[in-house]
């Protein structure tokens, strides 16, 4: 049947609108000069300097790619409860970032000093709906591991600080230098750190054994915090993790690979991540978002307070997968004291 004149006109208008919309979606988010200016301001803000113009151009192209990803995500992502931003990592590729700022290594052998039962198993009826250990005064300030892949040390320190509860910031550097069966800035595990603290009969304060961003010689220092053991949370069990966190901060391994994780700036993270455990953090609480009712884990990271929500991430919890989002429930442990 032939189209009427009115139908032909309407069809033509719709075609034009559709073409314009398509062109708008494919058009760059801003012109090149505007991106150059944004890069310059970003460099000044973060004190970034490059060795030559070739390096600067390479970093600019990476920055541009990350900026386009951020703008497209923030403007177009659906069913996402978080936002991204141009943080200090915006001129790094995912591969560069991953190689530098991760550092968890999956343990190859079971340990012997851990306790054999989950002591919080019978406390399901006692776990509060939410808890934030920062409000209890047992979480110290956010640290920055910089270019040393020792997230495992900061994760372990955060858990020990959470059980000692005297507000003293403990030494991650001592763990980097002295845990012989880890790899310093090239990765390690929290259970090896706990083993060392037990055998060493304590850990020094950060003030007496400060962080240097590199592995050095192990030196003796007065201990200010002692633990007597540690325990693993039953794996692939978010409810067990909740019971543990209800009682104390917990060291966990997660999958932190990807652009969204790298550029996360706030909200409840429900991004794309797998279960390849690559990074270590400390869970210091859990709760429910006032923005949209999403349940989350409160994660203390070691990438400085310029990442995420002043150094923290709210990671979605109670997901369908047994291991939790980003594998958070796969490997978790906490120190114990008598």
Give the residue numbers annotated as catalytic, written as ranges.
Answer: 151, 279, 301
Three-state DSSP class for 89? coil
β-strand partners of 313: 299
Q: How far is CA 83 from the centre of its chain?
A: 14
Backbone angles phi, psi at 50, to 5 degrees: -110, 155
Question: If you search the block for the tokens 């310029």, which residue do you land on?
Answer: 306
The total number of residues shown for the chain amounts to 338
User: Among all chains, which residue has been given the structure tokens 């541009």?
Assistant: 64
Got the DSSP string for 115-178? -SS-TTTT-GGG--S-EEGGGGT---PPPB-TT-B-HHHHHHHHHHHHHH-S-PPB-HHHHHHH
What sign does the dihedral 56-100-313-204 (CA atoms) show?
Answer: negative
- Cβ proximity of 172 and 143 under 8 Å: yes
Dihedral angle, C-alpha 196, 197, 200, 202, nearest 10 °:
170
Other residues' Cβ atoms within 10 Å of the Cβ of residue 195: 20
Nearest in space to 260 (alpha carbons), one of 54, 8, 81: 81
Tell me which H or E stretch contains 271.
none
């Amino acid at each position: 049947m032939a189209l009427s004149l009115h139908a032909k006109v309407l069809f033509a208008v719709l075609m034009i609108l559709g073409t314009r919309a398509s062109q708008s979606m494919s058009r760059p988010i801003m012109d090149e000069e505007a991106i150059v200016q944004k890069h310059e301001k970003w460099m000044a803000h973060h004190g970034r300097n490059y060795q030559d113009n070739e390096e600067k151009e390479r970093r600019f192209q990476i920055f541009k790619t990350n900026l386009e990803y951020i703008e497209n995500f923030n403007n177009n992502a659906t069913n996402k409860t978080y936002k991204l931003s141009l943080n200090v990592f915006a001129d790094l590729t995912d591969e560069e970032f991953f190689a530098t700022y991760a550092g968890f290594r999956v343990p190859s052998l079971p340990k012997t000093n851990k306790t054999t039962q989950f002591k919080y198993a019978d406390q399901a009826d006692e776990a509060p709906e939410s808890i934030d250990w920062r409000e209890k005064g047992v979480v110290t300030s956010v640290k920055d591991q910089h270019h040393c892949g020792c997230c495992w040390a900061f994760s372990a320190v955060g858990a020990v600080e959470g059980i000692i509860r005297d507000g003293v910031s403990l030494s991650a550097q001592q763990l980097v230098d002295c845990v012989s069966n880890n790899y310093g800035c090239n990765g390690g595990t929290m259970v090896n750190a706990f083993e060392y603290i037990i055998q060493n009969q304590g850990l020094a304060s950060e003030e007496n054994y400060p962080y240097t961003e590199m592995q050095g010689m192990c030196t003796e220092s007065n201990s200010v915090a002692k633990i007597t053991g540690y325990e693993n949370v039953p794996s692939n069990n978010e409810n067990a993790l909740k019971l543990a966190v209800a009682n104390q901060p917990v060291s966990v391994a997660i999958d932190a690979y990807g652009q969204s994780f790298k550029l996360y700036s706030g909200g409840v993270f429900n991004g794309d991540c797998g279960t390849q455990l690559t990074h270590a953090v400390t869970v210091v609480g859990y709760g429910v978002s006032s923005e949209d009712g999403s349940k989350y884990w409160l994660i203390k990271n070691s990438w400085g307070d310029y990442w995420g929500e002043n150094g923290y991430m709210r990671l979605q919890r109670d997901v369908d997968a047994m291991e939790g989002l980003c594998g958070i429930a796969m490997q978790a442990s906490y120190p114990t004291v008598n």
